[in-house]
Amino acid sequence: MLKQAVILVGGLGTRLGEMTRLVPKPLLEVAGKPFLDYILDELSRYPTIQDVVLLAGHQAGQVVDRYDGRRWRDASVSVVSEPAQMGTGGALKHAADRLDDKFLLLNGDSFFDFNLLDVAAGPAHSPAIVRVALKKDLAGDRYGRVLLDRDFIKTFLPAGAQPNGPINSGVYCVDRKILSFIDELPCSLEQTIFPRLAEQGQLRAALYDGFFIDIGVPSDFERAQSELPARMRRPAVFFDRDGVLNIDKAYVHKIEHFEWVPGAREAIKLCNDLGYLTFVVTNQAGVARGYYGIKAVHALHDWMSRDLAQIGAHIDEFQYCPYHEEGVVAEWRQASDRRKPAPGMILDCLKGWPVRKESSLLVGDMPHDLQAAAAAGIKGHLFEGGDLLSFIRPLLDRDAA
Protein backbone atom coordinates (compact mmCIF):
# COMPACT_ATOMS: atom_id res chain seq x y z
CA MET A 1 0.00 0.00 0.00
CA LEU A 2 1.31 3.44 -0.95
CA LYS A 3 2.07 5.53 2.15
CA GLN A 4 4.60 8.11 0.96
CA ALA A 5 4.70 11.08 -1.39
CA VAL A 6 7.92 12.89 -2.31
CA ILE A 7 7.85 16.39 -3.79
CA LEU A 8 10.72 17.98 -5.73
CA VAL A 9 10.97 21.61 -4.60
CA GLY A 10 14.63 22.37 -5.29
CA GLY A 11 14.70 23.92 -8.77
CA LEU A 12 15.99 27.42 -9.51
CA GLY A 13 12.97 28.64 -11.49
CA THR A 14 15.10 30.78 -13.82
CA ARG A 15 12.29 31.41 -16.33
CA LEU A 16 10.43 33.42 -13.70
CA GLY A 17 13.35 35.80 -13.36
CA GLU A 18 13.53 38.02 -10.31
CA MET A 19 10.47 36.38 -8.67
CA THR A 20 12.45 33.26 -7.77
CA ARG A 21 15.83 34.81 -6.96
CA LEU A 22 15.01 34.92 -3.25
CA VAL A 23 11.97 32.59 -3.07
CA PRO A 24 11.74 28.92 -4.10
CA LYS A 25 9.37 28.60 -7.04
CA PRO A 26 6.91 26.27 -5.22
CA LEU A 27 6.60 28.86 -2.44
CA LEU A 28 5.48 31.66 -4.75
CA GLU A 29 2.02 32.84 -3.75
CA VAL A 30 -0.98 31.87 -5.83
CA ALA A 31 -4.15 33.67 -4.75
CA GLY A 32 -2.72 34.40 -1.32
CA LYS A 33 -0.97 31.16 -0.38
CA PRO A 34 2.12 29.25 -1.56
CA PHE A 35 1.64 27.10 -4.63
CA LEU A 36 3.03 24.15 -2.68
CA ASP A 37 0.13 24.39 -0.23
CA TYR A 38 -2.25 23.43 -3.03
CA ILE A 39 -0.23 20.28 -3.71
CA LEU A 40 -0.16 19.38 -0.01
CA ASP A 41 -3.90 20.02 0.27
CA GLU A 42 -4.44 17.60 -2.58
CA LEU A 43 -2.14 14.91 -1.19
CA SER A 44 -3.80 15.14 2.21
CA ARG A 45 -7.09 14.01 0.67
CA TYR A 46 -5.66 10.47 0.51
CA PRO A 47 -5.76 8.90 3.99
CA THR A 48 -3.20 6.19 3.22
CA ILE A 49 -0.54 8.79 2.34
CA GLN A 50 0.84 9.59 5.76
CA ASP A 51 4.42 10.67 4.98
CA VAL A 52 5.26 13.63 2.71
CA VAL A 53 8.93 14.38 2.07
CA LEU A 54 9.99 17.66 0.45
CA LEU A 55 13.31 17.60 -1.41
CA ALA A 56 14.61 21.16 -1.16
CA GLY A 57 17.53 22.91 -2.84
CA HIS A 58 17.35 26.57 -3.84
CA GLN A 59 16.55 28.68 -0.74
CA ALA A 60 15.97 25.46 1.20
CA GLY A 61 15.83 27.27 4.53
CA GLN A 62 12.49 28.81 3.61
CA VAL A 63 11.07 25.37 2.87
CA VAL A 64 12.38 24.04 6.19
CA ASP A 65 11.01 26.99 8.16
CA ARG A 66 7.51 26.73 6.71
CA TYR A 67 6.98 22.97 6.38
CA ASP A 68 9.42 20.80 8.30
CA GLY A 69 7.71 18.94 11.14
CA ARG A 70 4.19 20.07 10.26
CA ARG A 71 1.12 17.92 9.87
CA TRP A 72 -1.16 18.38 6.88
CA ARG A 73 -4.43 16.82 7.94
CA ASP A 74 -3.26 13.26 8.77
CA ALA A 75 0.07 13.41 6.92
CA SER A 76 3.43 14.34 8.47
CA VAL A 77 5.67 16.66 6.43
CA SER A 78 9.47 16.69 6.55
CA VAL A 79 12.21 18.33 4.48
CA VAL A 80 15.48 16.96 3.11
CA SER A 81 17.87 19.71 1.92
CA GLU A 82 20.47 19.17 -0.79
CA PRO A 83 24.01 20.33 0.01
CA ALA A 84 24.29 21.58 -3.59
CA GLN A 85 22.23 21.57 -6.79
CA MET A 86 22.14 17.86 -7.66
CA GLY A 87 19.33 17.66 -10.23
CA THR A 88 16.09 15.75 -9.79
CA GLY A 89 17.84 12.36 -9.79
CA GLY A 90 20.51 13.59 -7.41
CA ALA A 91 17.85 14.88 -5.01
CA LEU A 92 16.36 11.39 -4.85
CA LYS A 93 19.77 9.77 -4.34
CA HIS A 94 20.56 12.18 -1.52
CA ALA A 95 17.28 11.25 0.21
CA ALA A 96 17.74 7.50 -0.30
CA ASP A 97 17.49 6.59 3.38
CA ARG A 98 14.10 8.34 3.61
CA LEU A 99 12.43 6.61 0.68
CA ASP A 100 9.87 3.80 0.93
CA ASP A 101 10.01 0.82 -1.39
CA LYS A 102 7.30 2.52 -3.46
CA PHE A 103 6.29 6.17 -3.42
CA LEU A 104 4.59 8.94 -5.34
CA LEU A 105 6.94 11.53 -6.81
CA LEU A 106 5.65 14.96 -7.81
CA ASN A 107 7.13 18.14 -9.22
CA GLY A 108 6.59 21.03 -6.83
CA ASP A 109 5.90 23.57 -9.59
CA SER A 110 2.99 21.86 -11.35
CA PHE A 111 -0.49 20.72 -10.38
CA PHE A 112 -2.38 17.90 -12.10
CA ASP A 113 -5.95 17.21 -11.02
CA PHE A 114 -6.56 13.48 -11.27
CA ASN A 115 -6.99 10.50 -8.93
CA LEU A 116 -3.42 10.10 -7.67
CA LEU A 117 -4.03 6.62 -6.28
CA ASP A 118 -4.97 5.33 -9.71
CA VAL A 119 -1.42 5.69 -11.04
CA ALA A 120 -0.19 3.77 -7.98
CA ALA A 121 -2.74 0.98 -8.44
CA GLY A 122 -1.54 0.12 -11.94
CA PRO A 123 -2.21 -3.35 -13.32
CA ALA A 124 -0.32 -6.10 -11.51
CA HIS A 125 0.59 -7.71 -14.82
CA SER A 126 2.58 -4.65 -15.94
CA PRO A 127 5.03 -3.75 -13.17
CA ALA A 128 7.58 -1.05 -13.90
CA ILE A 129 10.18 0.92 -11.98
CA VAL A 130 8.34 4.12 -12.88
CA ARG A 131 4.73 4.61 -13.88
CA VAL A 132 4.16 8.07 -15.35
CA ALA A 133 0.90 10.02 -15.23
CA LEU A 134 0.45 11.65 -18.62
CA LYS A 135 -1.84 14.56 -19.41
CA LYS A 136 -3.75 13.33 -22.46
CA ASP A 137 -3.27 16.43 -24.55
CA LEU A 138 -2.29 20.04 -24.11
CA ALA A 139 -2.13 22.12 -27.26
CA GLY A 140 0.86 24.35 -27.93
CA ASP A 141 4.61 24.13 -28.22
CA ARG A 142 5.72 24.72 -24.62
CA TYR A 143 5.81 21.02 -23.68
CA GLY A 144 7.58 18.00 -25.05
CA ARG A 145 5.46 15.04 -26.09
CA VAL A 146 5.52 11.39 -25.10
CA LEU A 147 5.33 8.59 -27.67
CA LEU A 148 3.68 5.37 -26.49
CA ASP A 149 3.46 1.74 -27.51
CA ARG A 150 0.38 0.59 -25.57
CA ASP A 151 1.30 1.64 -22.02
CA PHE A 152 5.06 1.58 -22.67
CA ILE A 153 6.82 4.91 -23.06
CA LYS A 154 9.03 4.62 -26.11
CA THR A 155 10.56 8.06 -26.34
CA PHE A 156 10.24 11.74 -25.44
CA LEU A 157 9.97 14.43 -28.10
CA PRO A 158 11.40 17.89 -27.35
CA ALA A 159 9.20 20.94 -26.93
CA GLY A 160 7.98 22.25 -30.28
CA ALA A 161 8.49 18.97 -32.12
CA GLN A 162 4.76 18.18 -32.17
CA PRO A 163 1.80 20.50 -31.47
CA ASN A 164 -0.33 17.97 -29.60
CA GLY A 165 -0.31 14.59 -27.91
CA PRO A 166 0.28 13.46 -24.32
CA ILE A 167 2.74 15.29 -22.08
CA ASN A 168 4.63 14.29 -18.96
CA SER A 169 2.69 15.78 -16.01
CA GLY A 170 5.52 15.41 -13.51
CA VAL A 171 3.62 12.88 -11.36
CA TYR A 172 5.09 9.39 -11.00
CA CYS A 173 4.70 6.19 -9.01
CA VAL A 174 8.28 5.11 -8.36
CA ASP A 175 10.00 1.96 -7.13
CA ARG A 176 13.12 2.71 -5.11
CA LYS A 177 15.02 0.42 -7.52
CA ILE A 178 15.41 3.61 -9.54
CA LEU A 179 18.26 4.57 -7.21
CA SER A 180 20.49 1.91 -8.81
CA PHE A 181 20.27 3.82 -12.11
CA ILE A 182 21.50 7.10 -10.58
CA ASP A 183 25.27 6.68 -10.69
CA GLU A 184 26.57 10.18 -11.50
CA LEU A 185 25.75 13.53 -9.92
CA PRO A 186 24.22 15.91 -10.75
CA CYS A 187 21.60 13.84 -12.53
CA SER A 188 18.30 14.59 -14.23
CA LEU A 189 15.55 11.99 -14.04
CA GLU A 190 13.85 13.30 -17.17
CA GLN A 191 16.92 13.70 -19.35
CA THR A 192 19.13 10.82 -18.15
CA ILE A 193 17.25 8.16 -16.21
CA PHE A 194 13.87 7.99 -17.94
CA PRO A 195 15.30 7.34 -21.42
CA ARG A 196 17.35 4.46 -19.98
CA LEU A 197 14.28 3.01 -18.27
CA ALA A 198 12.28 3.35 -21.50
CA GLU A 199 14.90 1.34 -23.37
CA GLN A 200 14.52 -1.47 -20.83
CA GLY A 201 10.72 -1.44 -20.83
CA GLN A 202 10.69 -0.16 -17.25
CA LEU A 203 8.85 3.10 -17.95
CA ARG A 204 5.11 2.79 -18.29
CA ALA A 205 2.33 5.32 -18.48
CA ALA A 206 -1.30 6.00 -17.69
CA LEU A 207 -3.33 8.70 -19.44
CA TYR A 208 -5.53 11.20 -17.58
CA ASP A 209 -7.51 14.23 -18.65
CA GLY A 210 -7.69 16.47 -15.59
CA PHE A 211 -6.82 20.13 -15.16
CA PHE A 212 -3.07 20.76 -15.44
CA ILE A 213 -0.98 23.84 -14.81
CA ASP A 214 2.77 24.45 -14.51
CA ILE A 215 3.79 27.80 -13.00
CA GLY A 216 7.25 27.78 -14.59
CA VAL A 217 6.66 30.70 -16.97
CA PRO A 218 5.14 34.12 -16.17
CA SER A 219 2.00 33.70 -18.29
CA ASP A 220 1.02 30.42 -16.63
CA PHE A 221 1.92 31.73 -13.18
CA GLU A 222 -0.53 34.58 -13.76
CA ARG A 223 -3.16 32.19 -15.11
CA ALA A 224 -2.82 30.07 -11.97
CA GLN A 225 -3.92 33.01 -9.80
CA SER A 226 -7.54 32.60 -10.88
CA GLU A 227 -7.77 29.12 -12.39
CA LEU A 228 -6.23 27.07 -9.60
CA PRO A 229 -8.41 28.31 -6.70
CA ALA A 230 -11.50 27.87 -8.87
CA ARG A 231 -10.53 24.27 -9.62
CA MET A 232 -10.16 23.49 -5.92
CA ARG A 233 -13.91 23.92 -5.40
CA ARG A 234 -15.36 20.49 -6.14
CA PRO A 235 -18.74 18.79 -5.99
CA ALA A 236 -19.03 16.14 -3.30
CA VAL A 237 -20.76 12.81 -2.84
CA PHE A 238 -21.84 11.97 0.72
CA PHE A 239 -22.35 8.25 1.38
CA ASP A 240 -24.22 6.77 4.29
CA ARG A 241 -22.28 3.69 5.37
CA ASP A 242 -24.36 0.74 6.66
CA GLY A 243 -26.80 -0.32 3.96
CA VAL A 244 -25.10 1.75 1.25
CA LEU A 245 -21.39 0.91 1.30
CA ASN A 246 -21.62 -2.28 3.34
CA ILE A 247 -24.32 -4.86 3.96
CA ASP A 248 -26.25 -3.75 7.05
CA LYS A 249 -25.90 -6.56 9.59
CA ALA A 250 -26.82 -4.34 12.56
CA TYR A 251 -24.03 -2.45 14.31
CA VAL A 252 -21.20 -3.63 12.08
CA HIS A 253 -17.92 -2.75 13.79
CA LYS A 254 -15.54 -5.65 13.12
CA ILE A 255 -13.58 -6.14 9.93
CA GLU A 256 -14.56 -9.80 9.75
CA HIS A 257 -18.25 -8.80 9.74
CA PHE A 258 -17.84 -6.11 7.09
CA GLU A 259 -19.08 -6.97 3.59
CA TRP A 260 -19.02 -4.42 0.78
CA VAL A 261 -22.26 -3.82 -1.07
CA PRO A 262 -21.83 -4.96 -4.70
CA GLY A 263 -20.26 -2.16 -6.72
CA ALA A 264 -19.54 -0.01 -3.65
CA ARG A 265 -15.77 0.17 -4.00
CA GLU A 266 -16.12 0.82 -7.71
CA ALA A 267 -18.70 3.56 -7.06
CA ILE A 268 -16.27 5.33 -4.74
CA LYS A 269 -13.50 5.07 -7.32
CA LEU A 270 -15.78 6.50 -9.99
CA CYS A 271 -16.39 9.51 -7.75
CA ASN A 272 -12.63 9.85 -7.25
CA ASP A 273 -11.90 9.55 -10.97
CA LEU A 274 -14.50 12.20 -11.83
CA GLY A 275 -13.03 14.66 -9.34
CA TYR A 276 -15.70 14.55 -6.63
CA LEU A 277 -14.84 14.93 -2.98
CA THR A 278 -16.07 11.76 -1.32
CA PHE A 279 -17.33 11.58 2.26
CA VAL A 280 -18.91 9.03 4.57
CA VAL A 281 -21.54 10.35 7.04
CA THR A 282 -22.71 7.60 9.36
CA ASN A 283 -24.72 7.35 12.57
CA GLN A 284 -22.87 5.05 14.97
CA ALA A 285 -25.28 4.74 17.89
CA GLY A 286 -23.63 1.42 18.76
CA VAL A 287 -21.03 3.47 20.63
CA ALA A 288 -23.64 5.13 22.84
CA ARG A 289 -25.40 1.79 23.32
CA GLY A 290 -22.17 0.20 24.54
CA TYR A 291 -21.78 -2.35 21.76
CA TYR A 292 -18.33 -1.07 20.73
CA GLY A 293 -16.04 1.90 21.29
CA ILE A 294 -14.62 4.78 19.30
CA LYS A 295 -11.42 2.84 18.58
CA ALA A 296 -13.44 0.16 16.78
CA VAL A 297 -15.03 2.80 14.53
CA HIS A 298 -11.63 4.24 13.63
CA ALA A 299 -10.09 0.80 13.08
CA LEU A 300 -12.85 -0.20 10.67
CA HIS A 301 -12.63 3.05 8.72
CA ASP A 302 -8.83 2.73 8.52
CA TRP A 303 -9.28 -0.78 7.13
CA MET A 304 -11.80 0.50 4.59
CA SER A 305 -9.24 3.07 3.43
CA ARG A 306 -6.56 0.42 3.02
CA ASP A 307 -8.90 -1.88 1.14
CA LEU A 308 -10.08 0.91 -1.17
CA ALA A 309 -6.48 1.88 -1.92
CA GLN A 310 -5.91 -1.53 -3.49
CA ILE A 311 -8.11 -0.46 -6.41
CA GLY A 312 -6.98 3.19 -6.42
CA ALA A 313 -9.96 4.55 -4.47
CA HIS A 314 -10.34 6.59 -1.30
CA ILE A 315 -12.71 8.40 1.06
CA ASP A 316 -11.66 12.00 1.72
CA GLU A 317 -13.14 12.02 5.21
CA PHE A 318 -15.15 9.72 7.45
CA GLN A 319 -17.69 11.56 9.61
CA TYR A 320 -19.54 9.60 12.28
CA CYS A 321 -21.87 10.40 15.16
CA PRO A 322 -21.50 8.22 18.31
CA TYR A 323 -24.29 9.99 20.25
CA HIS A 324 -27.79 8.80 21.06
CA GLU A 325 -30.20 10.28 23.61
CA GLU A 326 -31.09 6.76 24.85
CA GLY A 327 -27.51 5.53 25.11
CA VAL A 328 -26.27 3.52 28.09
CA VAL A 329 -22.77 5.05 28.00
CA ALA A 330 -22.99 8.36 29.82
CA GLU A 331 -20.29 10.03 27.72
CA TRP A 332 -22.33 9.52 24.56
CA ARG A 333 -25.87 9.74 25.95
CA GLN A 334 -27.22 12.96 24.50
CA ALA A 335 -28.98 14.42 21.50
CA SER A 336 -26.66 15.71 18.79
CA ASP A 337 -27.06 17.97 15.79
CA ARG A 338 -24.63 15.63 14.04
CA ARG A 339 -26.95 12.64 14.25
CA LYS A 340 -29.04 12.24 11.11
CA PRO A 341 -31.70 13.45 10.33
CA ALA A 342 -29.85 16.51 11.66
CA PRO A 343 -27.33 17.82 9.09
CA GLY A 344 -24.31 18.40 11.36
CA MET A 345 -21.93 15.89 9.77
CA ILE A 346 -22.67 17.21 6.28
CA LEU A 347 -22.30 20.81 7.44
CA ASP A 348 -18.93 20.03 9.03
CA CYS A 349 -17.69 18.71 5.67
CA LEU A 350 -19.01 21.81 3.92
CA LYS A 351 -17.09 23.98 6.38
CA GLY A 352 -13.87 21.99 6.29
CA TRP A 353 -13.53 21.33 2.56
CA PRO A 354 -13.89 23.44 -0.62
CA VAL A 355 -17.22 21.87 -1.61
CA ARG A 356 -19.29 23.11 -4.53
CA LYS A 357 -22.55 22.62 -2.71
CA GLU A 358 -24.91 23.18 -5.63
CA SER A 359 -23.48 20.17 -7.48
CA SER A 360 -23.23 17.83 -4.49
CA LEU A 361 -25.42 14.90 -3.50
CA LEU A 362 -25.98 12.30 -0.81
CA VAL A 363 -26.75 8.60 -1.18
CA GLY A 364 -28.54 6.97 1.75
CA ASP A 365 -30.79 4.01 2.42
CA MET A 366 -33.11 5.53 5.03
CA PRO A 367 -35.49 8.52 5.07
CA HIS A 368 -33.41 10.22 7.78
CA ASP A 369 -30.43 10.29 5.39
CA LEU A 370 -32.44 12.23 2.84
CA GLN A 371 -33.81 14.52 5.55
CA ALA A 372 -30.25 15.37 6.60
CA ALA A 373 -29.34 16.12 2.98
CA ALA A 374 -32.33 18.41 2.58
CA ALA A 375 -31.51 20.23 5.82
CA ALA A 376 -27.97 20.81 4.55
CA GLY A 377 -29.23 22.06 1.20
CA ILE A 378 -27.99 19.24 -1.03
CA LYS A 379 -29.77 16.63 -3.12
CA GLY A 380 -30.53 13.25 -1.54
CA HIS A 381 -31.02 9.93 -3.33
CA LEU A 382 -32.50 6.78 -1.78
CA PHE A 383 -30.54 3.59 -2.44
CA GLU A 384 -32.74 0.52 -2.01
CA GLY A 385 -30.18 -2.16 -2.76
CA GLY A 386 -28.53 -3.72 -5.77
CA ASP A 387 -25.30 -2.60 -7.41
CA LEU A 388 -24.14 0.77 -6.08
CA LEU A 389 -22.01 1.57 -9.12
CA SER A 390 -24.99 1.12 -11.43
CA PHE A 391 -27.09 3.27 -9.11
CA ILE A 392 -24.70 6.19 -8.85
CA ARG A 393 -23.29 6.39 -12.37
CA PRO A 394 -26.36 8.06 -13.92
CA LEU A 395 -26.51 10.51 -10.98
CA LEU A 396 -22.94 11.65 -11.69
CA ASP A 397 -23.48 11.66 -15.44
CA ARG A 398 -26.52 13.88 -14.92
CA ASP A 399 -24.46 16.30 -12.81
CA ALA A 400 -21.66 16.38 -15.38
CA ALA A 401 -24.19 17.19 -18.09
Catalytic residues: 240, 242
The residue ranges of DSSP E strands in 57-185, in sequence order, are 71-72, 75-81, 102-107, 110-112, 130-135, 145-149, 152-157, 167-175
What are the contacts of 369-373 at 24+ separation with CB within 8 A? 369/240, 369/340, 369/341, 371/340, 371/341, 372/281, 372/340, 372/341, 372/342, 372/343, 372/345, 372/346, 373/238, 373/343, 373/346
Residue 277: CB atoms within 10 Å: 22
Coil, helix or strand for 50? coil
* Beta pairing, strands 75-81 & 51-56: parallel
140 alpha carbon, distance to own chain's centre: 28
Q: Tell me the C-alpha distance between 183 and 132, whole Å.
A: 22
Rounded to an integer, what distance in angstroms lies between the CA atom of residue 231 and that of residue 254? 38
Residue type, 60: A
User: CA-CA distance, 214 to 212, in Å (whole number)?
Assistant: 7
